[in-house]
Amino acid sequence: MDEQQASARPTTDAPRDTAATQAWFGQLEAVIGRLIAAHGETIAPAADDGRATPARTAATVDDAVASERALLLDLARIAAHRSERWTAPVSTYLVGVALAPHDPAVRAQVLTDLVDGLELPTG
């Protein structure tokens, strides 16, 4: 790494915008709370009896993964623009962990609602 690259890297001493970060995670928590209230029991973890189901076919899984990837990237974009850049991977990780045990259809609907609830207003 040359001197110019080293100087362009952020340092750990860089000032943090804690107000924006706190506001972002507060808003994320509020939207997730509204989604849980709206979806009720559908957000309960899916029972896994180990048997193959139509939801586990390769084509369905590929489509679900592509859809979830796009929605998680939207969430990361919103997080990075609303707060500090580091909140993007943290937010997507937390949401991914929370939704991982759920049925793909539920994950897609909750992710869609979450992104819609956090989307930046246009204009």
Residue 8 lies in a domain: no
Residue 19 lies in a domain: no
For residue 60, give its domain range. Answer: 56-123
Residue 46 lies in a domain: no
Residue 1 lies in a domain: no
Residue 98 lies in a domain: yes
- Could you give the residue ranges of the DSSP H alpha helices within the chain? 3-8, 18-39, 58-82, 87-99, 104-118
pLDDT at 57: 47
Residue 107 lies in a domain: yes
Residue 86 CA to residue 80 CA, distance in Å, equals: 7
Instruction: Tell me how many domains the chain contains.
Output: 1
Residue 90 lies in a domain: yes
pLDDT at 55: 45
Dump pLDDT digits (tens) for 13-45.
Answer: 455 678 888 888 888 888 877 777 776 654 444
pTM, two decimal places: 0.60
Residue 93 lies in a domain: yes
Dump pLDDT digits (tens) for 75-114.
Answer: 999 998 888 889 899 999 989 888 888 888 888 888 999 9
